[in-house]
């Protein structure tokens, strides 16, 4: 569960629409402002607008990083600085709160002190979601949803449905 506006981190993408058209949106530089912005709606469409073929991400220097975990109390805390990712995961019958943050060394140290907990090992969540992640009661929660194996996509707004039909 990212805690930042992830679509801003995607500069460009190429995707195949449900009707089979290949669409290139955005570009490889930040100042690409021609035409309609299809990148940001696509990133939040849960596949409704098509299937990704290629993505160009914004690169940000991260001089330091930390991945931490602590017992989850059922509430997501307000943290300063805000972690880049924050989610709760059910492991062996117990809920854990995970946080990942990167940036300047002093900021990462401040975050580590505010969050507490212990260093976490890298996670491979693929075995929990062999049929794909979807919204539903499951072993992973973030600030927006609870995620289940093979669960449904969130109900899209009418504007997304109209955009999908137009593509």
Q: Is the pLDDT reported for residue 105 higher than 80?
A: yes
CA distance to 59, 86, 130, 133, 149, per residue, from 127 (Å): 29, 20, 6, 11, 9
pLDDT tens per residue across span 35-44: 677 888 888 7
Q: For 64-149, CATH number?
A: 3.30.70.2560
Q: For 113, what's the count of Cα atoms within 13 Å in the CB-facing half-sphere?
A: 8
Q: Please, which residues have CB within 8 angstroms of residue 20's CB and are 6 or more apart in sequence?
A: none
The band of 29, judged by pLDDT with boundaries at 50, 70 and 90, is low
Q: Write down the pTM of the prediction.
A: 0.76
Instruction: Tell me the mean pLDDT in the region 58-82.
Output: 91
Spatial separation of the C-alpha atoms in residues 137 and 38, rounded to whole Å: 31
CA distance 21 to 19: 6
List alpha helices for 47-117, DSSP H.
105-115
Output the average pLDDT for the chain.
Answer: 88
Domain map (residue ranges) of the chain: 6-59, 64-149
* Confidence category of residue 30, pLDDT binned at 50, 70, 90: low
φ/ψ region of 116 (left if φ > 0, alpha if ψ in -120 to 50, else beta) reads: left
CATH architecture entry for 6-59: 2-Layer Sandwich (3.30)
- Length of the chain equals 167
Q: Please answer whether residues 112 and 106 qualify as being in contact, where contact means their C-beta atoms are separated by less than 8 angstroms.
A: no
Look up residue 152 and give its DSSP letter. B
- pLDDT score at 68: 98
């Amino acid at each position: 569960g990212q805690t930042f506006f992830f679509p801003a981190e995607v500069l460009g993408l190429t995707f195949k629409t449900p009707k089979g058209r290949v669409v290139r949106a955005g570009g490889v530089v930040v100042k690409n402002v021609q035409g309609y912005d299809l990148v940001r709606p696509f990133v939040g469409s849960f596949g409704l607008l098509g299937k990704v073929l290629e993505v160009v991400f914004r690169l940000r220097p991260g001089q330091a990083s930390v991945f931490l975990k602590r017992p989850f109390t059922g509430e997501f805390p307000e943290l300063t600085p805000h972690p880049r990712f924050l989610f709760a995961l059910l492991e062996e019958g117990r809920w854990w709160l995970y946080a990942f943050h990167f940036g300047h060394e002093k900021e990462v140290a401040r975050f580590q002190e505010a969050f507490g907990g212990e260093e976490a090992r890298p996670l491979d969540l693929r075995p929990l979601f062999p049929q794909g992640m979807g919204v539903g009661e499951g072993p992973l929660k973030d600030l927006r949803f609870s995620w289940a194996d093979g669960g449904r996509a969130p109900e899209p707004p009418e504007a997304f449905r109209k955009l999908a039909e137009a593509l």
